[in-house]
Amino acid sequence: MCPHHPRHLPAEERRAVTVETVLSLAAERNPSDITTTVIAERMGVTQGALFRHFPSKEAIWQAVMEWVAERLLARIERAADAGSPMAALEAMFLAHVEFVAEHPGVPRLLFGELQKAEATPAKRMAQTLIRRYGERLRSILAEGKACGEIDPDVDENAAATAFIGAIQGLVMQSLLAGDVARLRREAPGVFAVYRFGIGSTK
């Protein structure tokens, strides 16, 4: 039997494959419908094998959200080195859109966790992701105001919220249309509108 068969993966690889499986399933169906039975079946393992690496479904969801937060924030941080503050914002916007286009299950999972009434570990991780993202945006917006690229009267909190909201709007429309490619097509135009709204007129 092939040594890379899912039944014989080392612990860390098994955890990584589980995360990838959940993201793949979330791109196809409502995350609330993804049971451990469904995950195990997609991976070709038993639920017992799955639970040897994760004590509960909640632990699986937490691992998925940690994966999303780590990789999205890393990609955003790389994009933030694009140059001027406005160039950094554009690079971050497009990098975020590209991340979602590559992993369409991510927004479904994020929205699903944030809508839950209870404070699950996965929900707390999603909230931490949004908080850290907002902090990075506000720091770049402040830099832009200081160097004259961004209107000094712009409210940094509102501008950060509008930035994330614009991406969420694009994502929702692409999901409703069943057209992930729409994200890539429309993102530059949406950012141009955002840039016009916050750019300095002096």
Residue ranges and CATH numbers for the domains of the chain are: 1-54 (1.10.10), 57-198 (1.10.357.10)
Q: What is the DSSP secondary-structure string of 96-138?
A: HHHHHHH-THHHHHHHHHHT-SS--HHHHHHHHHHHHHHHHHH
pLDDT (tens digit per residue) in 94-116: 999 999 999 988 888 888 877 87
pLDDT (tens digit per residue) in 127-153: 888 999 999 999 999 999 999 999 999
Low-confidence ranges of the chain (pLDDT < 70): 1-10, 202
Spell out the residues 6+ positions from residue 173 whose beta carbon is closer than 8 angstroms to its own: 182, 186
For position 31, what pLDDT does the model report?
87
Please check whether residue 158 is in contact with residue 102, taking contact to mean a CB–CB distance below 8 angstroms. no
Q: What is the C-alpha to C-alpha distance for residues 173 and 122, in angstroms, rounded to an integer?
A: 25
For position 10, what pLDDT does the model report?
63
